[in-house]
Amino acid sequence: MTALTITRPDDWHLHLRDGAMMRAVLPYSAQHFARAIIMPNLEPPVVTLAQATEYRDRIMAALPDGMKFTPLMTLYLTEKTDPDDVTAAHNSGLVKAVKLYPAGATTNSNSGVSKFDTIRPTLERMAEIGLPLCVHGEVTQNDVDIFDREAVFIERVLDPIRQKTKGLRVIMEHITTKDAVDYARAQDETLAATITTHHLVINRNHILAGGIKPHFYCLPVAKREEHRLALRTAATSGEPRFFLGTDSAPHTDANKLLPCGCAGCFTAPNTMPILAQIFEDDNALDKLEHFTSLNGPKFYGLPVNKEKMTLTKKPMQFPSHVNTDDGPITVFDPGYDLHWSVI
């Protein structure tokens, strides 16, 4: 096959940041993706409908003329979130999900949740009104090894929340383990899981063997090869519960290359060519559209995009860096040549 036309994709987990960084990275998402679920972990976080509305306006103001892109906003769940504000956010039509960060789990998660009982009224309300919960699924206790934090979260936090809150729609975000794939497969249609581009490409050796590679460091951290293979099987299966959330998470090189560097891979510019290659290698090109364009809208109850995207078989050159007024950002390098391009 030398050309593939699919429904224009969406990104169900994206960090656009703000200010100079947002202006630099937004065009890379907008050139390929029609819509994206926009992560609320700004400093300060996007907690209320009023903040989400202002952030959305800043995104639209930064969108270059002639580009079409719809940001689907999220609220950052805190122990003080007001269920009535969540209902108002849902009714506004601007906010499509609420995001749960366990406090301390990742970048700008300090305002997240420590005592999960405190968010019960909000979760009950979300189940009632049908607003989905996006979950960063890692425990944060220091006695739990960082490579085990996702599996332990499923058992200790996620499953109890779902048992207590029947009907709550949950997205397990950026899953990294076979445990998460197996859990997702055993649940009803109220549960879905997103998978990133980079977790389909790298395992933990890529980060740590032969020298430390800060640009492969993200959270949840990449796991053993057997887990990467489980993610590939899930992504390429076409099953409705699995869809793309790139978790494209730009940080300047200055902030990545520190003694305590930031977590995040910036994959917005080359995600679609990387995915086409992965699906081709796994004999699943016919499932690419399900993963990138069909399964997500179905879970969120949104229409599938009307526009199309064509990928053609020709070498894709991507920039090694994107420059911003805050400094350069390194683009995720899968470590091999890419031979699909978006035309």
The reply to whether 138 sits near Zn ion by the rule CB under 5 A is no
Q: Which is nearer to Zn ion, 239 or 247 (CB)?
A: 247
Q: Going by DSSP bridges, is the β-strand pair 308-312/3-7 parallel, antiparallel, or unpaired?
A: antiparallel
Nearest approach, Cβ of 268 to ligand NCD (angstroms)? 13
C-beta of residue 55 within 8 angstroms of C-beta of residue 18: yes
Which of 71, 112, 245, 264 contacts ligand NCD by CB under 6 A?
264
Dig out the tokens for 319 from the structure: 């920039």
Nearest approach, Cβ of 138 to ligand NCD (angstroms)? 8
**Residue 163: which of 174, 154, 173, 150 has the closest Cα?**
154
What stretches of 118-203 adopt beta strand conformation (E)?
133-135, 170-172, 191-195
**Residue 164: which of 114, 126, 136, 113 has the closest Cα?**
126
- Residue 264 touches which of Zn ion, ligand NCD, none (CB < 5 to 8 A by kind)? ligand NCD
Q: Which of residues 29-68 bind ligand NCD (CB under 6 A)?
A: 41
Q: Which is nearer to ligand NCD, 265 or 309 (CB)?
A: 265
The reply to whether 106 sits near ligand NCD by the rule CB under 6 A is yes
Residues 6+ apart with CB under 8 A from 146: 221
- Residue 71 touches which of ligand NCD, Zn ion, none (CB < 5 to 8 A by kind)? none
Q: Is 218 exposed, middle or buried (0-12, 13-18, 19+ CB in 10 A)?
A: buried
Which of 14, 98, 201, 218 contacts ligand NCD by CB under 6 A?
218
Nearest approach, Cβ of 247 to ligand NCD (angstroms)? 5
The reply to whether 247 sits near Zn ion by the rule CB under 5 A is yes
Which of 35, 136, 227, 232 contacts ligand NCD by CB under 6 A?
136
The reply to whether 150 sits near Zn ion by the rule CB under 5 A is no
**Active-site hit among 85, 247, 253, 325:** 247
The reply to whether 21 sits near ligand NCD by the rule CB under 6 A is no
Q: Which is nearer to Zn ion, 16 or 284 (CB)?
A: 16
- Residue 103 touches which of Zn ion, ligand NCD, none (CB < 5 to 8 A by kind)? none
Q: Which is nearer to ligand NCD, 111 or 341 (CB)?
A: 111
The reply to whether 247 sits near ligand NCD by the rule CB under 6 A is yes
Nearest approach, Cβ of 107 to ligand NCD (angstroms)? 4
C-beta of residue 244 within 8 angstroms of C-beta of residue 9: yes
Could you write out the DSSP letters of every residue in 56-105?
Answer: HHHHHHHSPTT---EEEEEEE--TT--HHHHHHHHHHSSEEEEEE-BTTS
Helix or strand run (H / E) with residue 161: helix 159-164
The reply to whether 305 sits near ligand NCD by the rule CB under 6 A is no
Chain centroid to Cα 179, Å, comes to 18
What stretches of the chain adopt beta strand conformation (E)?
3-7, 11-14, 35-38, 70-76, 95-100, 133-135, 170-172, 191-195, 242-244, 308-312, 321-322, 329-330, 341-342
179 catalytically annotated: no
Angle between helices 178-185 and 225-235 in degrees, nearest 10? 30
- Residue 219 touches which of ligand NCD, Zn ion, none (CB < 5 to 8 A by kind)? ligand NCD
Q: Which residues bind ligand NCD (CB under 6 A)?
A: 15, 41, 106-107, 136, 218-219, 247, 249, 263-264
Report the catalytic residues.
247
